[in-house]
């Protein structure tokens, strides 16, 4: 039986379209307090019909409200770099943490930035990166977690781009006749990006990572970079520091050789460091310093290619980080309730309800009694012995957040806590060796990420108290002179020049 769960046993709340609220359906003032006449009734009827026709003819999407459309490109090139786990304070005031990031600071000084960026739910790498390049939330783009749901254990990662159900930046840029490039960007295998080294399985069975990378990348690209680096071991990619060296070498090679209009780059070691040692650890700071040096290499490559003054840089991240010490194990609760069974080795053999990371699913989405029982189990814990440490995020709130439409609910831990899928000690709450984690409500400041936008087409010295991740793709599109039609986000017009320089 399939584990896929559509929205069920819950009703979606329909929001009032702001366009309707601006419409007046009242008759002229002189008639407000008089008995209705035939003219009054005709006026109201015509007004009501007009509203119905408006709502029926125009889908309710934020991006379809009237906005100023671009006339011509503000930049010829955009370099979009994601530093995995970029915490906003390392953009806004790194010196307070004893950290020097001179290249990011130089871009910030010449551009504009945000004090925080609100991301997706869950605030995980693959859903967030897909929102960055589509301008829509997970329920629209289809990447709900890093991995596919598999009741037998950790599912396959969402490597292939055909899982994305919304238009992407690279597709729109290609439609506009622009040259695209992607380096280690998630969910891009088979994407059709012109110059491409996608993020792939880091430890593939039956072949080396280099062989897999060659087969999925632009022909000749991997070998050219290996030669440039003087060699690269078949398993060197398992070291995130070496992996970022390789990705940066690919990006700078592409810039110097091909000068793409759009380049996407994902660097990862800061995520590994914060998971292992925490948000402000010495190891994490060293990782950010190394990525800042890689940013410097990217800028230098643009200078060498003669495109620096025509290039806009977007430096951002996918999520923030909690400091953690303990982990909730919701599958223990479900097993005790008889809703999940395991074999002697702990493998799940049958289930009626199950946890996939922070997501709680039920096997039969139409079983309202089961849905109530499962929700009650976790609410009793969240409102009882674990009050203040755990919240239940129900279906109505998940709809509002644009989260996984297949989930019954999400479990939301407090800062200091995380959620795992194991059964250690048959305990709901156990210690964890991790010291940092993410995946939680994007509205929590600890889950915010950073953002710097600098260079061609960008105003200098403007600070956004808050930005939205779904606005990045429309902003990149505006810089390059095309639109992200269908996006939920909108361009950050306040930090952009109104016209391209002569």
- The predicted-structure confidence for 72-101, as pLDDT tens digits, reads as follows 999 999 999 999 999 999 999 999 999 999
Residue 293 in this model has a pLDDT that exceeds 70: yes
What is the band of 71 on the pLDDT scale with cuts at 50, 70, 90? low
pLDDT of residue 152: 84
Mean pLDDT of the 396-414 span: 98
388 CA to centre of own chain: 27
**What residues does each domain of the chain span?**
77-323+444-495
**Residue 366, token pair as written in the block:** 């139409």
pLDDT of residue 500: 58
Query: Between these two residues, 81 and 36, which has the higher pLDDT value?
Result: 81
What is the band of 17 on the pLDDT scale with cuts at 50, 70, 90? very low
Mean pLDDT of the 324-329 span: 98
DSSP code, position 458? B
pLDDT of residue 498: 85
Mean pLDDT of the 178-205 span: 97
Predicted structure pTM score: 0.86
DSSP code, position 122? S
pLDDT of residue 309: 98
* 184/77 Cα distance (integer angstroms): 19
Unique residue bearing structure tokens 């793409």: 260
- The predicted-structure confidence for 335-353, as pLDDT tens digits, reads as follows 999 999 999 988 999 999 9
Mean pLDDT of the 426-453 span: 98
Query: For the chain, how long is the longest CA-to-CA vector?
Result: 89
Query: Between these two residues, 15 and 412, which has the higher pLDDT value?
Result: 412
Q: Are 267 and 290 in contact (CB under 8 A)?
A: no
Query: What CATH code is assigned to 77-323+444-495?
Result: 3.40.720.10
Torsion, Cα of 261, 89, 246, 260 (10° steps): 0
What is the band of 499 on the pLDDT scale with cuts at 50, 70, 90? low
* 144/140 Cα distance (integer angstroms): 10
pLDDT of residue 154: 78
Q: Among 67-71, 116-120, 285-289, 373-377, where is mean pLDDT lowest?
A: 67-71
Using N-to-C axis directions, what is the helix angle for 240-258 and 282-304, rounded to 10°? 10
344 CA to centre of own chain: 38
Strand partners, 264: 80, 182
pLDDT of residue 502: 53
What are the helix and strand counts (H, E) for the chain? Answer: 16, 20
């Amino acid at each position: 039986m399939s584990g896929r769960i559509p929205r069920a046993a819950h009703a979606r709340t329909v929001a009032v379209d702001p366009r309707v609220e601006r419409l007046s359906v009242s008759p002229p003032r002189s008639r407000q307090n008089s008995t209705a006449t035939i003219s009054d009734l005709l006026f109201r009827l015509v007004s009501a019909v007009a509203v119905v026709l408006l709502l029926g003819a125009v889908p309710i999407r934020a991006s379809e409200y009237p906005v100023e459309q671009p006339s011509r490109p503000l930049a010829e090139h955009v370099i979009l770099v994601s530093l995995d786990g970029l915490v906003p304070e390392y953009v806004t005031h790194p010196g307070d943490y004893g950290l020097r990031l001179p290249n990011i600071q130089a871009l910030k000084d010449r551009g504009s930035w945000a004090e925080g960026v609100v991301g997706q739910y869950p605030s995980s790498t693959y859903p967030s990166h897909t929102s960055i390049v589509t301008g829509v939330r997970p329920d629209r783009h289809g990447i709900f977690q890093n991995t596919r749901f598999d009741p037998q254990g950790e599912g396959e990662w969402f490597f292939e781009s055909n899982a994305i159900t919304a238009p992407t930046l690279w597709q729109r840029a290609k439609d506009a006749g622009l040259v695209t490039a992607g380096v280690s960007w998630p969910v891009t295998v088979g994407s059709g990006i012109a110059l491409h080294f996608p993020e792939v399985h880091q430890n593939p069975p039956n072949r080396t990572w280099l062989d897999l990378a060659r087969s999925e990348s632009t022909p000749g690209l991997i070998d050219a970079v290996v030669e440039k680096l003087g060699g690269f071991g078949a398993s060197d990619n398992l070291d995130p520091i070496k992996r970022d060296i390789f990705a940066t070498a690919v990006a700078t090679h592409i810039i110097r050789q091909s000068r793409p209009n759009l380049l996407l780059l994902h660097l990862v070691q800061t995520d590994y460091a914060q998971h292992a040692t925490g948000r402000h650890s010495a190891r994490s700071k060293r990782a950010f310093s190394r990525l800042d040096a890689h940013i410097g290499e990217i800028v230098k490559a643009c200078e060498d290619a003669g495109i620096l003054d025509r290039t806009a840089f977007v430096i951002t991240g996918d999520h923030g980080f909690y400091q953690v010490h303990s982990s909730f194990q919701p599958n223990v609760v479900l097993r005790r309730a008889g809703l999940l069974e395991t074999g002697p080795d702990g493998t799940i053999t049958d289930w009626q309800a199950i946890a996939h990371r922070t997501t709680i699913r039920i096997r039969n989405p139409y079983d309202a009694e089961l849905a109530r029982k499962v929700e009650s189990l976790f609410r009793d814990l969240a409102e009882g012995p674990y009050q203040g440490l755990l919240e239940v995020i129900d279906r109505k709130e998940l709809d509002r957040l644009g989260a996984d439409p297949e989930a019954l609910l999400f479990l939301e831990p407090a800062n200091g806590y995380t959620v795992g899928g194991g059964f250690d000690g048959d305990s709901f709450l156990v210690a964890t060796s991790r010291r940092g984690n993410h995946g939680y409500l994007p509205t929590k400041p600890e889950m915010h990420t950073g953002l710097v936008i600098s260079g061609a087409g960008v105003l200098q010295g403007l600070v956004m108290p808050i930005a939205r991740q779904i606005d990045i793709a429309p902003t990149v599109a505006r810089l390059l002179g095309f639109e992200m039609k269908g996006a939920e986000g909108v361009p950050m017009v306040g930090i952009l020049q109104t016209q391209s320089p002569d």
